[in-house]
Structure formats: C-alpha cells, structure tokens
Amino acid sequence: MAFVLPVPDPVTVPVAGTDDLFPVRRIFCVGRNYEAHAREMGLTEREPPFFFAKFADAIRPNGSVLPYPPLTEDFHHEGELVVAIGKGGRDIAAADALAHVFGYAAGLDMTRRDVQWAAKKAGKPWDMGKNFPGAAPISTIHPIAQTGPLERGALVLTVNGTVRQQGDLADMIWSIPETIAHLSRYGALEAGDLIFTGTPAGVGPVLPGDRIDLRIDGLTPLTVVIGPAD
C-alpha cells in the first residue's frame, strides 16, 4: 500500500532552549476575549467564549516575511498569547486545565478584516477572513515547566516601532483554564493543538514593508515583516 499523493511535511514550532519541535495538530482561536477589544468590535455585554479555527498551514515561524494576502485591502494584526496543548482530554475541569498545557508562545491572528466584516454583514461564515496561509505567525514555545502558569504579564505590539496594542494577560475575560474547559466541551482537545487566546484593543491595518513586533513578558518576542502581495 502506498500514498497516492506526496505526504505533506508536518507543521512544527520550535521549543525554546532545545532542538525539539512541537507538532501542530489544530489551531483554535478565542474571539473577543479582552473587554476593551470586545467594545471596539461592537460588543457591550460579557458573553460566553466563542471559537474559530485556522488550518495548521497558517503557521509561520518567527522572523517570517508575510506576503500581503489576496482579496483584501484591510489586513489587520492581532497580538495574542498562544497556549500549546500537551495532553488531550474532553470535558476538562478548569481546575485541571493547566495539567494539559505544554507551554506558551507569542502569536499573531492575522485577519482580512474587510473580508470578515462583509461575511458577518451577510450572515455568512467568515473563515476566509481568518484562515489563509500565513495567518498565524508564532514564536518559539516555552514549556510551562520553565515559565509556570502565565496569569498576568504585559503584551505589547508595535508596528514600525509605534505601540498599537498594549494590555495585560490578566485582562482576559476568560482565563486560560476557563478557555480550555469551555473548548473541551465541544469535543476532545488533542496533544498538538494550539489555542490563540484573544487580543487586546488596538487592532489595526498593516501595509507591505511594515514590521510587527509582539512582546509578551517571559516569552520569546515575535517579529514579522509584511511583504508585497503574492
């Protein structure tokens, strides 16, 4: 028996301080998980967390040049803490959730905002606004055994040296354990899953030539440059 097509290479993320690689299975993202960002997106009341997904091939390594994607004129940055799942499970209790965490990284939920808004306005799915190659740059993953649980810490995103987003992990509406618990009720989480945990206020557009720097206390900074359109 043989594969009828070439088998794709696995998608991996480096583990900080080692030569090891974290294999990416799936990418889940939490929507509107910081109050100020929820307000800037038009939400005025606290609501249960909701999730969307990206394909694993959305991952790009630290230092990448991201081509400006097609079919958008409003390409936005969203700086986020990423949680890497090391042990799967279903219906995980919040009190047990951190036992399922392998580690943390800095990540960008890159968004074709005009595509997203047009789909929302029409009552259609907005996958194409969020899910495309290069939509999920990520830094190296720091194991939780080294960092401890990340419950607070500054998150700062700059574009060309100017601060665009600034917040604290403690400002999340739903904590990391609560997010894991909610997500695991929809179906089993698996080792290799990544969870992008939401973004503070200040999301905005980038253009070819712009440099994005994301810093989260205790983690390797993430830097990407926006390249010309494909």
pLDDT tens by residue, the chain, 230 residues: 899 999 999 999 999 999 999 999 999 999 889 876 555 555 555 678 899 999 999 999 999 999 999 999 999 999 999 999 999 999 999 999 999 999 999 999 999 999 999 999 999 999 999 999 999 999 999 999 999 999 999 999 999 999 999 999 999 999 999 999 999 999 999 999 999 999 999 999 999 999 999 999 999 999 999 999 97
Superfamily assignment of 23-229 in CATH? Fumarylacetoacetase-like, C-terminal domain (3.90.850.10)
How far apart CA 65 and CA 9 sit, in angstroms, is 20
- The reported pLDDT for the residue numbered 44 is 53
Placement of tokens 């960002």 in the chain:
37
Which residues, in sequence order, are CB contacts of 8 under 8 Å at separation 6+? 57
How far apart CA 23 and CA 9 sit, in angstroms, is 11
| 122-127 contacts at long range (C-beta below 8 A, 24 or more positions apart) | 126/52, 127/52
For residue range 160-180, list pLDDT tens digits in order: 999 999 999 999 999 999 999
How far apart CA 41 and CA 169 sit, in angstroms, is 19
- The reported pLDDT for the residue numbered 180 is 97
Q: Which two tokens stand for residue 97?
A: 């959730």
Instruction: Annotate 103-130 with DSSP letters as a single string.
Output: EEEEEE--EEHHHHHHHHHTT---HHHH
Q: Are 179 and 197 in contact (CB under 8 A)?
A: yes
- The reported pLDDT for the residue numbered 32 is 86
Domain ranges of the chain: 23-229
